[in-house]
Amino acid sequence: MNESEQDAATGSTDRAHGTDRLDELVSWDADWAGLRVVVAGIGASGFSAADTLIELGAAVVVVDAQVDDENEAKADTLRIVGAREVLLGAEYATTLPLVDGEPAELVVTSPGWRPTQPLLAEAAAAHIPIWGDVELAWRVRIRQGRPTAEWLTITGTNGKTTTVGLTESMLLAAGTRAIAAGNVGTPILDVIRDPQGYDFIAVELSSFQLHWSHSISPLASVCLNVAEDHVDWHGSYGAYLAAKALVYERTRIACVYNVEQRETEAMVEQAEVIEGCRAIGFTTGMPSISMLGVVEDLLVDRAFIAQRKDSAVELAAVADLGTVVPRHLVADALAAAALVRAAGIDTTAVRAGIRAFRPGDHRIQVVGDEDGVLWIDDSKATNPHAAAASLASFESVVWIAGGLSKGVSYDELVREHAGRLRAVVLLGEDPGPLQGALARHAPGVPVSRHPGSDDQDHDGTAADAPTAELLMQWAVAEAARLAREGDTVLMAPAAASMDQFSSYAHRGAAFTAAVAARRARATTAEES
């Protein structure tokens, strides 16, 4: 690999081309006027970044390969508020444009753009700094006349959104002005520009966002867990882990790690943190000193109390988390509690926040309980690691699984949980990888596929392929046929949804609707 290719692969931001000026841009009130910036991407984060930079007085050119009505509308808005140019079309995403006739001084990229994307690779090869929207938000968070929020940063392969929501709920229960933002949905720059400001921001960070962040110094941080994911974007699992580990860099008060996953503790050990920062563990077992954990179905803190050498303080009961409480939800609650305790939040607010929290749809969501069979929607389980956490929560499972596998292996998942499988109902246009793992490691478990999945017409497409809703109705009917009293029908696909559904939410909604429709038909039959 030559030097230019290496820069492109790593997103190098070696110092050149006026980076001395960038070093001074550490508040909203700094001199951003005339800074030449290319914004890569016009999605939610890219639009927010461009709008912010224009408001700051920078000279902004926006580039996006996608041309559609939504992007055209966003482009019109940005032109009205002062963008120099908005360039839509694939031909514009291959070369770094000039800004006011001169080279850009900075590129701000949307998180989905890979480091090897041609425009970003060109910027890296030219040693033009590349920031993400989160890096920009950190730079402008300080503004005269408004409070400066403390950041609690959260990453992990799974559980980020739940933990961010729990963190926000605990902070609100304490009476602070707090909000969840970042990868969770609300662009972080929209939060930063709120006129009233916030006391705390619970910031969900993807590995993509962390890759493009360089100076964030949170009050407390956590990597919940890691498993193989997004290798196509990062280039290797090692690079993915390195990106996740960036969440701990420059942490000031507490680096929170998962005691049950050594990789996260190693990240803390290797992180460059602010002197005095503590390493705080969380575990779903009995906690040692400087940890949060579980004792006799109680969540307890043995880290943020003076008597931690020989005692712990109760935070909440496991039952406060809901009716069905999988182990990973307990872990997420403990991680959130560690973050807010690092921020000085008292135990009563932790308990109140847990009780007030409502998980998002399609995350271990009970959607039916009929004739001794529990129906669970965990469509958000889009990879084997997440599905493993779901399966571990139930003893006897009819598993609805499969979808867009993204090249992952299912052998470890099936081998670990074969003993709890009553039967498996397969979704997905290519269920082969999961079906192969089932044949190798659970050969006695009945496996059902849609009867049309093997029928191919002359051009290689499925003949008479069912709609997504009809497919899910078949899956629910098949699961009902296979289930016995005491079983759980668990829809935790361990795969992405986009081969047959528009999103994991669409898949989960189809499952919920199919379960409800089946229940309604059964009720009508009983009454007639």
Q: What are the tens digits of pLDDT across the range 315-349? A: 999 999 988 888 999 999 999 999 999 999 999 99
Total domain count for the chain? 3
Q: Quick one: 72 and 165 in the same domain?
A: no
Q: Quick one: 182 and 294 in the same domain?
A: yes
Residue 352 Ramachandran class (φ > 0 left, ψ -120 to 50 alpha, else beta): alpha
Tell me the per-residue pLDDT of 489-501, one tens digit each, with 9 for 90 and over.
999 999 988 888 9
Tell me the per-residue pLDDT of 73-111, one tens digit each, with 9 for 90 and over.
999 999 999 999 999 999 999 999 999 999 999 999 998
Residues 461-469 have a mean pLDDT of 65
pTM for the model: 0.81
167 is in an annotated binding site: no
161 is in an annotated binding site: yes
Q: Quick one: 229 and 286 in the same domain?
A: yes
> What is the percent of the chain with per-residue pLDDT over 70, rounded to a whole number?
92
524 is in an annotated binding site: no
488: number of Cβ within 10 Å: 23
499: number of Cβ within 10 Å: 15
380 is in an annotated binding site: no
Q: Quick one: 408 and 512 in the same domain?
A: yes
Tell me the per-residue pLDDT of 420-451, one tens digit each, with 9 for 90 and over.
999 999 998 888 899 999 999 999 999 999 88
Which pLDDT band, with edges at 50, 70 and 90, does 454 fall under?
low
Residue 178 belongs to some domain of the structure: yes
pLDDT at 452: 67
- Would you say residue 10 has pLDDT above 70? no
How far apart are the C-alpha atoms of 226 and 179, rounded to whole Å? 25
pLDDT at 14: 40
How far apart are the C-alpha atoms of 202 and 339, rounded to whole Å? 9
- Would you say residue 455 has pLDDT above 70? no
159 is in an annotated binding site: yes
Q: Quick one: 442 and 472 in the same domain?
A: yes
Q: Quick one: 342 and 274 in the same domain?
A: yes
486 is in an annotated binding site: no
Mean pLDDT of the chain: 91
- Would you say residue 397 has pLDDT above 90? yes
How far apart are the C-alpha atoms of 186 and 164, rounded to whole Å? 12
Contact 99, 137 (CB under 8 A): no
Residue 3 belongs to some domain of the structure: no
- Would you say residue 385 has pLDDT above 90? no
Query: What CATH number is associated with residue 416?
Result: 3.90.190.20
Give the domain range for residue 438: 365-452+463-518
Residue 218 backbone dihedrals phi, psi, to 5 degrees: -75, 165
Q: Quick one: 27 and 114 in the same domain?
A: yes
How far apart are the C-alpha atoms of 4 and 7, rounded to whole Å? 5
162 is in an annotated binding site: yes
Tell me the per-residue pLDDT of 130-189, one tens digit each, with 9 for 90 and over.
999 999 999 999 999 999 999 999 999 989 999 999 999 999 999 999 999 998 778 999
